[in-house]
Amino acid sequence: MISRKIITNIVQEAGFDIVGVVRAEHLAEEHNRFNKWMLEGNASTLDYLKRNIEKRFDASVLVEGAKSVIVCAISYLSPYSRGYAEGCRTKVASYALARDYHMTIKEMLNEVAERLKEHYPTLRFRAFTDSAPLAEKSYAVRAGLGWIGRNSLVVTPKHGSMLHLGELVINEEVDEYDTPLSGVGCGECRRCVEACPNGTILDNRTIDTRRCISCRTIERETDSGNIDLDGWIFGCDACQTVCPYNMKAPLHTNRKFDPLYDPTTLDTEAWLAMTEEEFQAMAGTTAMTRAGIARIQKNIEAE
Ligand code: SF4
Ligand code: SF4
C-alpha cells in the first residue's frame, strides 16, 4: 500500500503542478460515450482512436496487474497562449513552441516512478503521456484534476486547460484515492464554442475532428471539405485562449516548458523560405519537427 502523501511530495518535486490518484478501474460511462462519438463518425481518419478501445477505458486491461493510476498535470501556459495579434497568419499552438512534451513528461514520470521505488521496491509501473491507448482525460477527471470543458479538454480550476497530462499505471494500491471535483465547471460559458473558427465544437463536449484546425494541421492533410485555418500553421489554441480559466491561470513555472523561439518574428515568407536544416536548428526538439518544414509550408499554402 502506497502513501498518497509520499506520491504528492514526489510528484511535486519532479515539477508537476497537479496530481490525483484513482483505482485502475473500467470507466464504463466514459467508454459508452466514446463508442457513441465514434459511431457518429467524429473520429474521422484518426485511426489510432479506433484501436484498443477496451484497454483505453480500463487501465487494468492495458497493464496487467494494475491497481492504481497516478495522473499528473503540468502547465505550459506562456505569453503565446494568450493569443496572437489580429491578422497574424503564422500562428503556432503554444505547447508546440517548447521541447516535445512527450519526451519531457516521460522523463518526469520515470523520475517519479524511480523515486517511488526507493520507498516501495516492489513497485512496477508503466508511464504514459498522450502516447498509448489510455483515456487520460477521463482518468484525470476521475482523479479530481478538473472537468471536461465544452471544447473537450480537461479544465482545471487553477491552471485552466493549457496542461500536459501524464500517467503512471502502477501495480500497488494507494491509501487514499481521489474523487471527481464537484461544484465547478463551465457553467453558462460558451466562449470556446463561439471562438472556434469552424464550428467544430459539438454540443456534447466533444469535437468533430474533421473540422478541427489542430487535427488538420498536425494529424492529416486531407479532409472531407475545406476548413478555415484562420492563420494557424501548426495546431490551434483558439478555443483555449478565450477560456476564462486560462485567462486567469498563472504562466507556467517549470522552465522545461519554456518556448524555444519567438514565432512572432516569422512571417509567411520567412516560413516558406525556411530549409529543413534551418527549421531543425530553430525548432529541433519541439513537437513541430515531427511534422517537418514541408508540412508546415503546406499548411501555409492551404490557407
Ligand atoms: S482547436 Fe481550434 S479548430 Fe479545433 S476545436 Fe479548438 S478552436 Fe476549433
Ligand atoms: S471557454 Fe467556457 S465553456 Fe469553454 S471550456 Fe472554458 S469555461 Fe468551459
**pLDDT the model gives residue 204:** 83
* CATH number corresponding to 4-78+94-170: 3.40.109
Question: What's the average model confidence in pLDDT over 79-88?
Answer: 96
Ligand nearest the Cα atom of residue 211: 1
Residue 302 banded pLDDT, cuts 50, 70, 90: confident
Residues 175-214 pLDDT 10s: 999 999 999 999 999 999 999 999 999 988 888 888 899 9
Q: Is 130 a known active-site residue?
A: yes
Least confident of 37-51, 52-66, 116-130, 131-145: 37-51
Q: Where are the domains of the chain?
A: 4-78+94-170
Residue 46 banded pLDDT, cuts 50, 70, 90: low
Residue 243 C-alpha to ligand 2 middle, in angstroms? Answer: 5
Q: Whose CA is nearest to atom 6 of ligand 1?
A: 239
Q: DSSP states of 212-246 as a string?
A: -HHHHHHT-S--SS----TTEEE---HHHHT-HHH
**pLDDT the model gives residue 49:** 65
The structure's pTM equals 0.92
Ligand 2 nearest-atom number relative to CA 190: 3
Least confident of 138-152, 231-245, 288-302: 288-302
Residue 100 C-alpha to ligand 1 middle, in angstroms? Answer: 21
Q: Residue 174 has which C-alpha cell?
A: 494507494
Residues 219-277 pLDDT 10s: 866 554 578 899 999 999 999 999 999 999 999 999 999 999 999 999 999 999 999 99
Pick the catalytic residue from 47, 58, 100, 130: 130
Given ligand 2 and candidates 151, 159, 181, 246, which is best to mutate, with the most ligand atoms within 8 Å of its CB?
151
Q: Whose CA is nearest to atom 1 of ligand 2?
A: 243
